[in-house]
Chains A and B, each alone.
Chain A
Amino acid sequence: MAISEAVGQRAFAQAPRRGWATRLLEDERWLAVSLLLPTVVLLGLFIAYPFVQGVLLAITDTKVGIPGRFVGVQNFIALWYDSIFRTAVWNTFVYTAVATVFKLALGLWLALLLNRHFKGKAFTRAFILLPFIIPTVLSTFAWKWMFDPTFSVINWTLFQLGLIHGRINWLGDPDLALISVIIVNVWRGVPFFAISLLAGLQTINPELQEAAAIDGARAWQRFWHVTWPLLLPVTMVVMLFSIIQTFADFQLVYVLTGGGPANATQLFATYAYQIGVGTGLLSEGAAVSLAMFPFLLFVVVVQLLYIRRVEVH
């Protein structure tokens, strides 16, 4: 029958009976609970619970196969006096700081270069990300081979160019090892910075640059006064992400040097592994891991505060 007739004749249909589950999920709050349940369970089980366990481990003296007794902060005090631990702390901060500065500077430079139009731009952009995409361990092995004291291609090139006369023991020389590791970390991180900063650059209205140019600003001034302030939010987020990842880094050092030579590249993570898994001193290993937490918490808080402030604007 035609619509007009159908509408006129129908009385108000009784609302269909709904099952209790349907009615429950109609309520916004219960729906939210059921949607978030799997996530909360997984994260609770495999992050919150281990974290608590980690704290408990760190305040006992558990070893592999031997349950521990409560020892309070003894492990942490022992670490304080452990010279290797202190070296690891120093190394980690140096590693993080230097690598981040270089990643930011080089990443920014690359982003500025990529922000122009040239043939094959999309192609280039895709290839640039490869160091970040390819599994870290695998590409790190390539670097290890490139750094190999006997067979290094880098040494060969430098020798051919007349820049060196003997070999450079990139990974075996305690003075050079940390630098070499930083180089690889920077190599890996520059693409991430570059692509993220590039995305940030592309949201900046080009008219602002043009107006500044008309006003007489030179390239460096344009960058400093127009581009950089607008890029700051993205930069901050990227940097904070990167700092956390770098500070807790493990794979790079494990593959390249294992923490040596003579602990020159020992970091929190590698030292924790060495103690906890290598020698089975679980509690002390856990203590080393947990020692990372204060700094990480600081970085997280800074990031949250910064995001809040940006959102308010």
Chain B
Amino acid sequence: MARVLIRNLNKFYDDFHAVKDVNLEIRDKEFVVLVGPSGCGKTTTLRMVAGLESIGSGQILIGDTVVNELPPMDRDIAMVFQNYALYPHKSVYDNKAFGLKMRRVDRGEIRKRVHEAADILGIRDYLGRKPRQLSGGQRQRVALGRAIVRHPQVFLFDEPLSNLDAKLRVQMRVELKKLHNRLNTTAVYVTHDQVEAMTLGDRVVVMRGGIVQQVGEPLELYNRPANRFVAGFIGSPAMNFASVHVTNGTGGLRAGNTGLAIDVPAEISSRLAPYAGRDVIMGVRPEDLEVANGGDPPGLCFEALVEVVERLGAESLLDLQVGEQTMVASVEPNIRAKRGDRLRFALRPERLHFFDTKSEAAI
């Protein structure tokens, strides 16, 4: 069973508390993505799992073994680095064979495995070449191949796609997904790109400032973010946030500010009731803002001034001025709007998010 268990993990760099009490269970065969802005501790955590950084306090288990004291070579893991880390003086073949040679695997077996991995990744023709003769994408494949031949218990990825150009990145993402399906090995993947996190992960771990913000399946993070940070981090364009004041009105709670005023839907009222008389943060995603037609309940509509129109083809992004704040709406491409128009937008009750102003937790 190749699960990875992280218990109460802490890491200090002099006075800087880089990783704060992280608890995580990565199940056997699961592909887990650690995502967050730079400096959030995701890479440090990964490197502690790899054995490249010492552990401040806490435990890391791979399978059933506590690996805190084990050097990297004894942890039965493989890692793919951001800049590939290919040995420049060795051929592609030797790059992939190196790990097996270190473990005294016999020559015939090495050859078999290297060719197998090369076939899977489509790099059979490059086995004789040196890394400097390969393109970025090819080098990345070689790095992947090097990890595969070892048949490790756990794969570790440290932002492997960040050095590729945009188009290649999309392509490699799909290939990685296919690879994982085929190999069915536990994997821990670190990235700062939330698109990669959403598309690749079975589960996603959002980190910030050394603390785990939320763990869950991608859609769960998207639909039910645990706090304002996760809500704003996942999804592109980012969620719109507005500070609104909750008041007790006739027929129910109302939430509003200078730009808009809505009736709080029944489903949320009970949760929001304790906040009557106070400010909360309301969040709504750009794709959840629809241009109102006649049939929308007026209590959930508001008016906005269109400032900028960005037509992307598949959608149009409207930069809106709503009272004193700005919002972004993502609408159907056939919506006719231009700068200076005043449009009415409708909110759907199940797509509204509210967050406590101080703790930023979801309400």
Tell whether any CB of A sits under 8 Å from a CB of B in the complex: yes
Stretch of A5-13, A56-64, A222-230, A275-283 on the interface side: A5-13
A288-303 to B contact mask, C-beta < 8 Å, 1/0:
0000000000000000
> Is there contact, CB below 8 Å, between B76 and A3?
no
User: Complex formed: what's the CA distance from A8 to B184 in Å?
Assistant: 7
If over half of A's interface residues share one DSSP class (helix, strand or loop), that class is named, otherwise mixed; here it is loop
> Is there contact, CB below 8 Å, between B184 and A11?
no
Q: Apart from A2-B116, A16-B74, what are 7 other A-B pairs with CB-CB below 8 Å?
A: A3-B148, A4-B182, A4-B184, A6-B151, A7-B183, A7-B184, A12-B63
User: Complex formed: what's the CA distance from A2 to B284 in Å?
Assistant: 48
Q: Smallest CB-CB separation from B72: which chain A residue?
A: A26
Residue A42 is within 8 A (CB to CB) of chain B in the complex: no
B151 contact set on A, CB distance < 8 A: 3, 6-7, 10
Known A16-B74, A26-B71: A11·B148 in contact at CB below 8 Å: no
User: Complex formed: what's the CA distance from A283 to B163 in Å?
Assistant: 66
Residue B1 is within 8 A (CB to CB) of chain A in the complex: yes
Residue A310 is within 8 A (CB to CB) of chain B in the complex: no
User: Complex formed: what's the CA distance from A6 to B74 in Å?
Assistant: 19
Closest approach, in angstroms, between the C-beta of A274 and any C-beta of chain B? Answer: 53
Residue A15 is within 8 A (CB to CB) of chain B in the complex: yes
A18 contact set on B, CB distance < 8 A: 74
Closest approach, in angstroms, between the C-beta of A106 and any C-beta of chain B? Answer: 41
Residue B248 is within 8 A (CB to CB) of chain A in the complex: no
B2 contact set on A, CB distance < 8 A: 12
User: Complex formed: what's the CA distance from A174 to B185 in Å?
Assistant: 86
B99-117 to A contact mask, C-beta < 8 Å, 1/0:
0000000000000010011
Residue B65 is within 8 A (CB to CB) of chain A in the complex: yes
A2 contact set on B, CB distance < 8 A: 116
User: Chain A interface (Cβ within 8 Å of chain B)?
Assistant: 2-4, 6-8, 10-13, 15-16, 18, 26
Residue B343 is within 8 A (CB to CB) of chain A in the complex: no
> Is there contact, CB below 8 Å, between A12 and B65?
yes
> Is there contact, CB below 8 Å, between A7 and B62?
no
Q: What are 9 A-B contacts with C-beta separation under 8 Å?
A: A4-B182, A4-B183, A4-B184, A7-B152, A8-B184, A10-B153, A12-B1, A12-B65, A18-B74
Closest approach, in angstroms, between the C-beta of A17 and any C-beta of chain B? Answer: 10
User: Complex formed: what's the CA distance from A16 to B103 in Å?
Assistant: 10
Residue B296 is within 8 A (CB to CB) of chain A in the complex: no
Residue B176 is within 8 A (CB to CB) of chain A in the complex: no
- Top 8 closest A-B pairs, CB basis? A12-B63, A15-B74, A7-B185, A26-B71, A7-B151, A6-B151, A4-B183, A12-B153
User: Complex formed: what's the CA distance from A15 to B66 in Å?
Assistant: 11
Residue B175 is within 8 A (CB to CB) of chain A in the complex: no
B113 contact set on A, CB distance < 8 A: 3
Residue B70 is within 8 A (CB to CB) of chain A in the complex: yes
User: Complex formed: what's the CA distance from A6 to B116 in Å?
Assistant: 12
Closest approach, in angstroms, between the C-beta of B349 and any C-beta of chain A? Answer: 46
> Is there contact, CB below 8 Å, between B116 and A3?
yes
B1 contact set on A, CB distance < 8 A: 11-12
